[in-house]
Structure 1
Amino acid sequence: MPAIDASKLPWISLGKSPVSRRAMIQSIITTNPTLALADTIICNTFQEIESVALAHLPIPAVAIGPLEEPKSAAAGHFWPQDETCLRWLDAQAPGSVVYVAFGSFTVFDAEQLQELADGLELTGRPFLWGVRPNFADGVGEGWLDGFRRRVFGKGLVVSWAPQQRVLSHPSVACFVTHSGWNSTMEAVRHGVPLLCWPYFADQFLNQSYICDLWGVGLKVCADGRDIVTKEEIRDKVERLLGDEGIKARTLSLRSAACASVADGGSSHQDLIKLVNLLREN
Structure 2
Amino acid sequence: MGNPHFLAIPYPILGHMNPLMQFSHILAKHGCKITFLTSDENYNKMKTTSIIGGKGKIMESHINLVSLPDGVNPQDDRKDVAKVILSTKTTMSAMLPKVIEEINNINCDNKISCIIVTKNMGWALEVAHQLGIKGALFWPASATCLVSFNSMESLVEEGIIDSQNGLPKKEEIQLSTNLPMMEAAAMPWYNLHNAFFFLHMMKEMQNMNLGEWWLCNTSMDLEAEAISLSPKFLPIGPLMGNEHNIMGSLWQEDETCLEWLDQYPPKSIIYVSFGSLISIGPNQFIELAHGLDLLKRPYLWVVRKDKGDNEVKNSHPNELKGNQGKIIDWSPQKKILCHPSIACFITHCGWNSTIESVCNGVPMLCWPFFSDQLMNKTYICDVWKVGLGFEKDENGLITKEEIKKKVDELLEDEEIKERCLKLMEMVVKNKGEGDNNLNKFINWAKE
Same structural fold, with TM-score higher than 0.5 when normalized by the shorter chain: yes
Tell me by how many angstroms 1:242 deviates: 0.8
* Corresponding pairs, count: 268
Alignment of 1:264-279 (within 5 A): 265-279=432-446
CA distance in 1, matches of 2:440, 2:401: 49
Distance 1:268 1:232, change over 3 A: same
Q: Which residue identity lines up with residue 102 of structure 1 in the other structure?
A: F
Q: Which residue identity lines up with residue 209 of structure 1 in the other structure?
A: Y
Tell me by how many angstroms 1:135 deviates: 3.7
The answer to whether the aligner puts 1:26 opposite 2:199 as a matched pair is yes
Residue equivalent to 2:189: 11
Contact 1:110/1:136 (8 A) holds in 2: no
Q: TM-score, normalised by structure 2?
A: 0.58
CA distance in 2, matches of 1:193, 1:138: 27
Tell me by how many angstroms 1:143 deviates: 2.9
User: Residue deviations 1:13-65, cap 9 Å, x none?
Assistant: 1x3xx4xx1111021012110133111110010011111101113x4211111
Q: Which residue identity lines up with residue 127 of structure 1 in the other structure?
A: Y
Residue equivalent to 1:111: 283
CA distance in 1, matches of 2:246, 2:331: 13
Contact 1:100/1:177 (8 A) holds in 2: yes
CA distance in 1, matches of 2:362, 2:224: 22
Residue equivalent to 1:75: 246
Contact 1:174/1:193 (8 A) holds in 2: yes
CA distance in 2, matches of 1:138, 1:124: 23
Give the number of the structure whose alpha-carbon radius of gyration is greater: 2
Residue equivalent to 2:372: 202
More deviation in 129-138 or 43-52?
A: 129-138
Contact 1:113/1:136 (8 A) holds in 2: no
Structure 2: unaligned runs, 5 residues or longer? 1-178
Contact 2:282/2:309 (8 A) holds in 1: yes
Residue equivalent to 2:300: 128
User: Residue deviations 1:208-233, cap 9 Å, x none?
Assistant: 00000000000011011100000000
Residue equivalent to 2:221: 48
Contact 1:107/1:134 (8 A) holds in 2: no
Tell me by how many angstroms 1:130 deviates: 0.4
User: Residue deviations 1:148-196, cap 9 Å, x none?
Assistant: 5x213x1000011100000000000000000000000000001100000
Q: How big is the alpha-carbon RMSD for the aligned residues of Structure 1 and Structure 2? A: 1.7
RCO higher in structure (CA 8 A, sep ≥6) = 1
CA distance in 2, matches of 1:69, 1:10: 28
Contact 1:108/1:135 (8 A) holds in 2: no
CA distance in 2, matches of 1:83, 1:41: 34
Tell me by how many angstroms 1:144 deviates: 5.8
Tell me by how many angstroms 1:147 deviates: 4.9
The answer to whether the aligner puts 1:61 opposite 2:233 as a matched pair is yes
CA distance in 2, matches of 1:127, 1:70: 23
Q: TM-score, normalised by structure 1?
A: 0.91
Q: Which residue identity lines up with residue 252 of structure 2 in the other structure?
A: P
User: Residue deviations 1:104-144, cap 9 Å, x none?
Assistant: 11121211000001001111110000011244569445236
* DSSP 3-state at the match of 1:37: coil
* DSSP 3-state at the match of 2:252: coil
CA distance in 2, matches of 1:94, 1:173: 7
Which residue of the other structure, out of 415, 425, 429, is the alignment partner of 1:245? 415
The answer to whether the aligner puts 1:192 opposite 2:362 as a matched pair is yes
Structure 1: unaligned runs, 5 residues or longer? none
Residue equivalent to 1:256: 426
